[in-house]
Structure 1
């Protein structure tokens, strides 16, 4: 899995998994007994899971609209260490419990088609942070303009 995919999954996936996992098993479990029940009861049982299924499907759409800033701010508050994820790719990766080493950042730079000098880590890091935020926004995340520019 690519480093950017891990970043995206850490931000988008945590919310999606937490909200969908409890609903999915109950939805798939309920229709079977409902359809085996008497037709009158089955109609009621089937309509409830359909509503659940319908609410699960739209919840996938809002999850694509994850508020990146809110997720990261919440994680930072729970982390217990001061991480300036708004400006630092290193701190962003640390916040997401990802490898933030220079080698990992060089790999991310290669993945995102960085054409600059990877030996100039300060310039590369600034570019990486902007690119990651822009790509999160392009992937459906809600990212404030000041974090993308």
Structure 2
């Protein structure tokens, strides 16, 4: 089954490690065989990988973009995912197991997709902690 991508004007995608940028019009691409593909909006810059979940996401993304380092990174990713399990409650933690299964199957894009809800949840938790810290500081 072919993968159909509609690219927005100037949207960037990475196909098998090659960065491709669309021109100034919408375009439809059909990928007819297996390839490692990720949209630019799904990529995390290394400087943004400052939290535990984003760090794992970045490693998974690195596997997708750099097949030459996959064998080295997969055990690191699995270990880091295992460290996250006791931190998150069961409902949101299911995404960790889903990501780990996709990493084991070498489906790195699906593993990244599985972690996106966890990244949002982690961000909300960090915002709550920062807000609580600010309240505590103001009270002193």
TM range (shorter): under 0.3
Higher relative contact order (CA 8 A, sep 6+): 1
TM (norm. structure 2) is 0.25
Q: Which has the larger radius of gyration?
A: 1
Higher helix share: 1
Write 1 or 2 for the structure with the bigger share of strand. Answer: 2
